């Protein structure tokens, strides 16, 4: 029962927010911790202290300036985790550029859309990753690159893109080699870089992260230096981070979890970033924690489950671990207990947020009671305000379910070049409407109990049904399609699709999946496909996806734990 207090909380704090740019932050940390290890990338054999990281960043930034990239220009990065990604994160900020994070799983249609949406002038790209041949895909979209000098691309399908920088040892037609960019720096470009520093402002846009929309194509959440630096700092404070900490980072850099909660948590505290592999693999995480004596580990619940269940788990000494974060999806209570007991992470925390809020707004504390740490997302972050509202936008009493809204330093500038959807998300009073259903108790602890809309969370990846539906509507045989989440023990949810074919047409589930292959990210491809004659509808003609979900649960014999 509620005590009558409204569901409003704010992180009152005497600790001031940092009003600095990313470049100034790195310079400050390098001055204070120059000889401390900053970046360890085990799969590349790279180890840099903070002085060395700053030198690499400064050289690459001066090279970007020498290439003619001017402040405000957008530069994409399409790559799995690597040292080049981290260096680019800081170098682009020093050069006044806006870094555009591109999901490594993106395929042709998605890549074309995001590059054009934000008018990317440059792109840093890996050569290959898993089944993705990035350079081949780029040549498919921009065949003109085969016959142009580096930096002079003029492609019909990618009209804004001029410069491609390949993370590859071999020279590629029409592209710069990443390793050569620092060498293009001149005394003049270094002087220009130094002159640029005082003109850059903490409130400048620094980063665009694409988050799939519930209606239509992905939206580019635009974040500032001020947004991400302060969030990284306070995420670390919740874990009691210090310069002696060593964080194992298996989460992807293209996502806020890697770029902010991992990298900027370390850099704001002078701690060490340790990357076990280019993408998550449980054995590499266990090996890295043991070999590097990591004190902290980040991951989504499925990652922790895979580590705990690895057949060689008992062979690794994880006793150096103390803290970390589990986030990205609801955490099963039993998994949390195993992480604390078997991985020695007695001070592990749960975090909650969204890309649009840089990302964290709630986090459990290391000294919160175990029951609270395993059953809630903790309490509100410093300097952040949160309220829970009903369908009319009114704040509800404590212990009452409603939509979670966030306000404060962490709220994004908006969706890039999309005033309508920005206005839909951020109201006139500055509240970011998350779309998540939540309850705040009398002590201020929060619980996420559902979603206002029908977003699917598959293994920590946000999947928006509308985006997949719009893609499948292009299929010539499909009359109508509805996409929804189906509970899954391993991934939390899998993507399900009910499809109505055009009259006289036939297709198989494999045909549908093949149509998606190479066009949309693998995690968005429907796992379950059913062909139906009609959808369950309300009397007003709205599709009832919960009935489809229930039908799939019954058909597949899935056991579901219902939330109150």
- Condensed to tens digits (0 to 9), the pLDDT of residues 121-172 reads 999 999 999 889 999 999 999 999 999 999 999 999 999 999 999 999 999 9
| 96 lies in some domain | yes
pLDDT given at position 463? 85
User: CA nearest 124: which of 194, 45, 179?
Assistant: 179
Question: CATH number of the domain that 461 lies in?
Answer: 3.30.300.30
**With 80 as the cut, is the pLDDT of residue 207 above it?**
yes
Q: For residue 355, what pLDDT band results from cuts at 50, 70 and 90?
A: very high
How much is the average pLDDT of 117-123? 98
**Mean pLDDT rounded to a whole number for the chain:** 93
| Chain centre distance of CA 370 | 27
- Give per-residue pLDDT as tens, 490-511: 999 999 999 999 889 999 999 9
Give 510's contacts (C-beta < 8 A, 6+ positions apart): none
Q: Does residue 485 lie in a domain region?
A: yes
Q: Is residue 521 part of a domain?
A: yes
Domain boundary among 219, 244, 279: 219
DSSP one-letter string for 240-285: T--TT-EEE--S-TTSHIIIIIIIIHHHHHT-EEEE--SS--HHHH
pLDDT, position 544 = 79
Higher pLDDT, 272 or 545: 272
Average pLDDT value for residue range 294-306: 92
Distance of CA 375 to the CA centre of its chain: 23
More confident residue, 335 or 529: 529
- What pLDDT score does 542 carry? 58
Asked whether residue 354 is domain-assigned, the answer is: no
Task: Look at residue 544 and tell me if it is in a domain.
Answer: yes
pLDDT category of residue 540 using cuts at 50, 70 and 90: very low
pLDDT at residue number 564: 27
Whether the per-residue pLDDT at 302 is higher than 90: the answer is: no
- What per-residue confidence (pLDDT) applies to 215? 46
| Higher pLDDT among residues 545 and 450, named by residue | 545
Nearest to 288 by CA among 302, 300, 273, 301: 273
Q: Which has more confidence, 199 or 3?
A: 199
Give the model's confidence band at 2: pLDDT under 50 very low, under 70 low, under 90 confident, else very high. low
Q: Name the percent of the chain lying above pLDDT 70.
A: 96
Tally the domains of the chain: 2
pLDDT for the residue 560 = 63
What is the pLDDT, as a whole number, of residue 72? 98
pLDDT in tens, 322-349: 999 998 777 777 788 899 999 999 999 9
Structure tokens at 241: 């981070």
d(CA 482, CA 468): 9
For the ranges 21-35, 276-290, 545-559, the lowest mean pLDDT is seen at 545-559
Is residue 562 over pLDDT 80? no
In a domain, 484, yes or no: yes
Of the chain, the percentage scoring pLDDT greater than 90 comes to 82
Would the pLDDT of 539 be above 90? Answer: no
CB 352 within 8 A of CB 257: no
| CATH number for the domain harbouring residue 184 | 3.40.50.980
Residue 557 token pair:
């014999």
Q: What pLDDT does residue 448 have?
A: 85
Q: What is each CA distance from 365 to 187, 258, 372, 388, 421, in whole angstroms?
A: 48, 20, 9, 21, 34
Q: What is the pLDDT of residues 66-94, one digit of tens each?
A: 999 999 999 999 999 999 999 999 999 99
Q: What pLDDT does residue 214 have? A: 40
17 domain residue, yes or no: no
Rounded-to-integer distance, Cα 34 and Cα 56, Å: 13
The last residue of one of the domains, among 197, 219, 241, is 219
Domain edge (last residue) among 161, 195, 219: 219
316 within some domain? no
Range of the domain at 490: 456-556
pLDDT value, residue 76: 98
- pLDDT tens-digit readout, 470-496: 899 889 999 889 899 999 989 999 999
Q: What is the pTM of this model?
A: 0.85
């Amino acid at each position: 029962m509620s005590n009558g207090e409204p569901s409003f909380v704010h992180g009152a704090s005497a600790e001031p927010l940092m009003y600095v740019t990313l470049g100034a932050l790195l310079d400050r940390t390098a001055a204070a911790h120059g000889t401390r290890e900053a970046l360890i990338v085990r799969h590349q054999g790279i180890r840099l202290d903070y002085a060395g990281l700053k030198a690499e960043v400064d050289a690459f930034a001066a090279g970007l300036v020498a290439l003619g990239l001017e402040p405000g220009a957008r530069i994409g990065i399409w790559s799995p985790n690597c040292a080049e990604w981290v260096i680019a994160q800081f170098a682009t900020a020093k050069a006044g550029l806006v870094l555009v994070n591109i999901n490594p799983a993106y395929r042709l249609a998605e890549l074309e859309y995001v590059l054009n949406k934000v008018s990317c002038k440059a792109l840093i790209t890996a050569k290959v990753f898993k089944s993705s041949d990035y350079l081949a895909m780029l040549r498919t979209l921009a065949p003109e690159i085969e016959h142009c000098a580096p930096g002079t691309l003029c492609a019909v399908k990618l009209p804004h893109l001029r410069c491609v920088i390949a993370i590859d040892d071999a020279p590629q037609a029409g592209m710069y080699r990443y390793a050569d960019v620092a060498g293009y720096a001149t005394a003049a470009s270094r002087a220009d870089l130094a002159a640029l520093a005082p003109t850059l402002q903490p409130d400048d846009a620094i980063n665009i992260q694409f988050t799939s929309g519930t209606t239509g194509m992905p939206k580019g959440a635009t974040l500032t230096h001020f947004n991400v630096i302060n969030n990284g700092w306070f995420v670390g404070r919740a874990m009691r981070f210090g310069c002696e900490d060593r964080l194992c980072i298996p989460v992807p850099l293209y996502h806020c979890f890697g770029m902010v909660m991992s990298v900027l948590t370390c850099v704001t505290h002078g701690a060490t970033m340790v990357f076990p592999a280019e993408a998550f693999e449980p054995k590499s995480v266990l090996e890295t924690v043991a070999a590097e004596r990591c004190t902290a580990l980040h991951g989504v619940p499925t990652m922790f489950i895979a580590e705990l269940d690895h057949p060689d788990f008992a062979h690794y000494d994880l006793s150096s671990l103390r803290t970390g974060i589990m986030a990205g999806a609801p955490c099963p209570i039993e998994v949390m207990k195993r992480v604390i007991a078997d991985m020695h992470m007695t001070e592990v925390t749960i975090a909650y947020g969204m890309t649009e809020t840089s990302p964290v707004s709630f986090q459990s504390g290391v000294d919160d009671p175990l029951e609270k740490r395993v059953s809630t997302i903790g309490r509100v972050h410093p300097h952040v305000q949160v309220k829970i509202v009903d369908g009319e936008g009114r704040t509800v009493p404590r212990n009452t379910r409603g939509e979670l809204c966030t306000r404060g330093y962490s709220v994004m500038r908006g969706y890039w070049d999309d005033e309508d959807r920005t206005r839909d998300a951020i109201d006139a009073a500055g509240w970011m409407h998350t779309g998540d259903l939540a309850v705040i108790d009398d002590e201020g602890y929060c619980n996420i109990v559902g979603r206002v809309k029908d977003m699917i969370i598959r293994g920590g990846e946000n999947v928006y049904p509308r985006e997949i539906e719009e893609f499948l509507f292009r299929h010539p045989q499909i009359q109508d399609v509805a996409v929804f989440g189906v509970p899954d023990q391993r991934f939390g949810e899998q993507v399900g699709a009910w499809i109505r074919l055009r009259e006289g047409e036939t297709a198989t589930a494999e045909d549908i999946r093949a149509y998606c292959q190479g066009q949309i990210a693998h995690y968005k491809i429907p796992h379950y496909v059913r062909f139906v004659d009609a959808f369950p509808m309300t009397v007003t003609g709205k599709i009832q996806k919960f009935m489809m979900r229930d039908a799939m649960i019954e058909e597949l014999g899935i056991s579901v734990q219902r939330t109150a």
